[in-house]
Every structure is written in structure tokens, then in C-alpha cells.
Amino acid sequence: MKAIIPVAGAGTKLRPHTYTQPKALIPLAGRTILSIIVDQLVEAGIREFVFVVGYLGEKIQHYVEKKYPDLTTHFVQQNSREGTGHAILLTRDVVANDEILIVLGDTIVETDFKEVINSQHSVLGVKKVDDPRNFGVAEISDQNIITRVVEKPQIPKSNLALVGMYKIRETEQLYQCLEDNIRQQVRSHDEFQLTDALECMIRHGVQFNAFKVNNWFDCGRKETLLETNAILLKKYKLATNPVLPYENTIIIPPVSIGEGCNIKNSIIGPNVAIGDNTVISYSIVKDSIIGSFSNLYEVVLKSSLIGSDANIRGLSQSLNIGDNTEIDLG
């Protein structure tokens, strides 16, 4: 089985961070979004990965090859971002007729991936949501078989959202449906959607079972990214770096602090992730993500997302600034 992870998106909802960093490499709970996804799949036994890259794709490739040298990896370039369906079709030559597990590169799913992989049928991950209009939606029978999927319906007939995890055995039919949809210009919301290809497969008799996931974390916006960071810091508390005795500093768990950091006269936490080689002095930071090689002096931060190489002095409450930024709030 091969895993396909589409990571070609520009991440416009996370700007300015994604001007210089792919969304999949945004730090999260002392790791990155992409490393959390890949580690889950490696633990489930997958050793071959196909990454669909585009915007800042060379950073994705460098990161993967450096962090996962023992995996078999392929990188497929998506030059024009025309939707998830278009992205998956580009992997056709690499996949051939192998079974695939697709996991979207901006979504973290907590589930039993081994059970998904070993399923005798194709499987779509689903979870109940309050407002399904912003997601792909699955309608299921009493036998847990998916009878229809539709992308972002205005009047949903189900509250089961597709969570971005798809195990597909019938890859030949998938690629045929993708190819037919693109040739016939079948678009939803101006893009070629994977959801439309799955619906095509269902109409042609392919059986998909619904697989209800335990948790589903949205990493596409600042607010939900910070919420996910807090949840995962609690979950990974045993795996985070041990808290060192920083000078005249109070650490309120859960906190993840990278290597080479210099922190003094500060209060850090709860729910804070700090990258490597960051300096923090005379500051209070909570519910925030701070990048690497940043310098914070006399600031009060909460619910903030700070990129790498940022330099902040003065007092603030909530910031959303990207890499290589300097701010003086004195």
C-alpha cells in the first residue's frame, strides 16, 4: 500500500506564515503538521509515500528526505492548483494498481490506521459536525455503507463530514473517474474535487464503508491551529522535551520548548510550543506557537502565532505575524 499526502496548497488562511513556509511545515506541539501525519502512517506499517507538492515544494522535499531517509518517497509536482481531484490524478503513474491511503496534508486524524488499512473494503473517514456545509458530506445506509458523497452541499442530508482520510482499493476505477471528470469539466466550487470522483465510483458500484474517527483536527486557520496545538500538547506531554531550569522563569504545563532556547525572567504556558534557539526575556506567553530563532523581550502574548526569525519588543496581546518580522511595540 502507498500513502498519498497532497501538500501543494498555498495555505492562504494562514498567511503571512505561509508566504515563507508550507502549511504542512507549520510547527505544532513541538513537531510539524506533516511529521504528525507521516509518523501515524509509519506506525501503522506504511513505508512508501507519495507527496503532491507545489507551492514551496522544495522545502517539503528537503524536510521529508532529511527527516525520513529510510522511507521510500516520491514527489509529484502540481503546477496548477485545480483541486484535490486534480492533485490525486497526478499520482497515477507512481501508484499504478496498488491500494492507496490518502490523507490530506492539513488535517490530523486520530484513529486506528491499522484497522483502516486492513479493511476488506474501501473506507472513507467521517465524523459528525455541527455545520457540514463547509465539508464534503457522506450519506450512509443502516449497514454503514456510504450511498452518496457531495462536496460542501448548501442543504446537507447528513451531518457526517469527510475528514480527509480515504482508503481505496479500486485505484483503477478512481483514476478513471478522476480522468473522466476532468475531461468533462466536472467541477465543484470551481475545482476538480476528489469527492466528485468518489461519487462517480459509488454510482459505478464501488462499495465504500464509513469509518468514524475518534478526533479530527483542523489546521487550516490560526484559531483552530492554536486549539489543536493545545490539545496535542496535552496528548504528547510524555514525548515533549523535558523542561529545563530556566533563570527566574515559571513553566506552566503543557509546554514544548525546542533545543537551544534561552528563557529568563518569564512565565511560559500553558499551551505553548516554542521552536529551537529562541530567546525570551521578561515576557509572559500563553496559548501560543513561537517559531525558531525568534527573540521576544518585554511582551505579553496570548493566542498568538509567531513565525521564525521574528524580533518583538514591547507589550502586546494577540499577534499573527510571519517569518523574518521585526516589531517594536514599546
| CATH code for position 279 | 2.160.10.10
**pLDDT, average across residues 286-295:** 91
Kind and range of the H or E run holding 177: helix 171-183
The Cα angle at residue 220 between residues 178 and 131, in degrees rounded to 5: 80
| pLDDT score recorded for residue 238 | 40
Asked whether the predicted pLDDT for residue 112 surpasses 80, the reply is yes
Q: Looking at 89-93, 132-136, 155-159, 242-246, which range is the least confident one?
A: 242-246
The answer to the question of residue 229 being in a domain is no
Query: Given pLDDT bands bounded at 50, 70 and 90, which one contains residue 319?
Result: low
Whether 232 is covered by a domain: the verdict is no
At residue 205, the pLDDT reads 94
Asked if 119 and 189 sit in the same domain, the reply is yes
pLDDT digits (tens, 9 = 90+) for 233-254: 988 764 445 556 788 999 998 9
Residues contacting 183, CB < 8 A, separation 6+: none
**pTM (two decimals):** 0.86
Reduced to 3 states (helix: H, G, I; strand: E, B; else coil), residue 270 is: coil
Average pLDDT over residues 64-76: 95
Task: State the total domains in the chain.
Answer: 2
Res 88: pLDDT:
96
Domain that holds residue 215: 2-220
- Verify that 215 and 299 share a domain, yes or no: no
Q: Given pLDDT bands bounded at 50, 70 and 90, which one contains residue 321?
A: low
